[in-house]
Amino acid sequence: MVVTHWAMASSPSGPDSLRLATFNLHLGVDGWARPYDVVATVAALDADVLVLQECWTPDDGSGLVDQLVATLGYQAVLEVPLARGVRFAPDPDADGRWGPRPGQMADAMRLEGSRAKRPRRDRPAVPGTWGMALLARVTMTNASATDLPRLRRDRSARAVLFAETPLGARSLLVTGVHMSHLTFGSPLHFRRLWHLLPATTTPAVVAGDMNCWGPPVSLMLPGWRRAIAQPTWPTHRPHSQLDHVLVTPPVRVTSARVGPHSGSDHRPVVVDLALA
């Protein structure tokens, strides 16, 4: 993938505000692999721009991104497959809990090469791809994706998604990520991300599941400020914020919220942005 160096100029006048949401879909299933209504959950966010992680596309059918585009009218600006894997059929022993273990995906899916144990019962599995996407219902240009270096312990590739959209009299750079875990060496990726991002004088936003708490994220992305500080994980009783939206000084956050519990193990983050 091509590394883009950002030098942004003024653009034709765009809307004065923009709603952005980031949401880890958890392949469209809960911890027991029971499907939930992804379309209704995303529609309720009412976002102009969506940064989505853990999008699932089975080999023999349409994926979650296809469903959102067809049903809600979004444009698929970028969709990047990051790993191969399988999604298991629902566990017949499922109960009223989100899953057998809070915030764990082992009973729902398995990435190729993963050392995770198989589900407690041998259940049918559908192969497909696991990745991330950038969707929009506003004009977006200069879309690109950049690979991050592969981490030895990480079963997934990682990438950074970029696109621009008019905001007021300028352009806003939207950056989407799904970072690896700290124990896998994600500070290396944050360092790379820092060098890919524009100067903090540029109107810009970076959003995604960062698999990291807010204070370390702020330390690794100096000059960027968090749009919201509220827990997002695990969904049924959140105690940690892993899903973040950060902005540069030229961007004003007019409102921000964490969405309600759905079927994913993460809660979405929704922010309204304008020029400062």
How far apart CA 171 and CA 156 sit, in angstroms, is: 32
- Parallel/antiparallel/unpaired status of strands 49-58 and 18-24: parallel
Give the residue extent of every domain in the chain: 18-275
Q: Which residues of the chain have pLDDT under 70?
A: 1-12, 102-103, 116-121
The DSSP secondary-structure symbol of 27 reads G
Burial of 44 from C-beta contacts in 10 A (0-12 / 13-18 / 19+): middle
SS3 160: strand
Q: Which residues pair with residue 160 across a beta bridge?
A: 146, 177
Question: What integer pLDDT is reported at residue 102 of this predicted model?
Answer: 66
The pLDDT tens digits for 179-235 are: 999 999 999 999 999 999 999 999 999 999 999 999 999 999 999 999 999 999 999
Q: Which fold has domain 18-275?
A: Deoxyribonuclease I; Chain A (3.60.10)
Note whether 205 and 175 are within 8 A (CB): yes
DSSP 200: T
